[in-house]
Amino acid sequence: MDEVDKLLAEEELIPCKMKIAGAGPRGGRPRAPTRPAPPRAGVGIGHLQPGNHGADLAKGARIQAPLWLALALHKKNMVELEYPEHYNKRCRDELEAGAATVNLRLYSQNYFTVGLDLARAKGDDALRRELRAGLSGERYAKLLDWSTNSGDRDVSELTEKLTTEERALFDAGYAATNNVDTWKKRNLDQLDANPVFKKAARKAKS
């Protein structure tokens, strides 16, 4: 995942429940939260509640916060993280079953990254297991088949339903297959290691 995709994932809105009373900004128009520092307890977060134009928040009020802010507030024990609807039991059961027909991109283009961040923060081993199953079962087998057998065909119809993480896997497999085909035709002096494996090797050495 590149830096742009990481930033997009961190901006995804996450439902949260206030564990403290939160004050709205005093005077002037409410401003959107700016990175990287989260607000101090009770300061300037009233506008995070949909339809709230800066009024105080009661303990137990529900807000929508970008992932980066939700995780920071959770770490300070100011909010309780809740899952977006697309991580409910039905979706998770389908994911664990490896259903290749589920279009996760309709829910979130960074479904796996956001889900993993939430699972880590909440200590949800079940969700981590289900996300891992989603990228290693039937979905992965289908993805591998698409990426290695597409040849010179237009693959846009296949990739438009993939999440960012799945698209990265598809692109890696597609590039590797084309690399091998080119080498077989003797148009390439040597085979290069796939970027995915190069990155893993660098991490292992560091």
pLDDT, tens digit (0-9, with 9 covering 90-100), for 31-65: 555 555 555 544 556 666 666 665 667 788 888 99
CATH topology of domain 10-81: Ribosomal Protein L9; domain 1 (3.40.5)
Q: What is the 3-state secondary structure (H, E, C) of 52-69?
A: CCCCCECCCCEEEEEHHH
**DSSP 8-state code for residue 85:** G
Domain ranges of the chain: 10-81, 85-206
Same fold, 10-81 and 85-206: no
pLDDT given for residue 204 in this prediction: 62
At residue 22, the 3 state secondary structure works out as: strand
Q: Is the pLDDT of residue 202 over 80?
A: no
Which residue's entry shows tokens 């990254």? 113
Average pLDDT over residues 19-27: 60
CATH of 85-206, one of 1.10.3720.10, 3.40.718.10, 3.30.300.30, 1.20.58.2050: 1.20.58.2050
Split at pLDDT 50, 70, 90, the class of 120 is: very high
Cβ atoms 122, 114 nearer than 8 A? no
Q: Is the pTM of this model over 0.85?
A: no
Average pLDDT of the chain is 77
pLDDT, tens digit (0-9, with 9 covering 90-100), for 131-162: 888 877 777 888 888 788 776 777 777 777 78
Average pLDDT over residues 78-82: 93
Q: 92 or 16, which is more confident?
A: 16
Which residue's entry shows tokens 């300061």? 43
Q: Is the pLDDT of residue 2 over 90?
A: no
HSE (side-chain half, CA atoms, 13 Å) at 129: 6
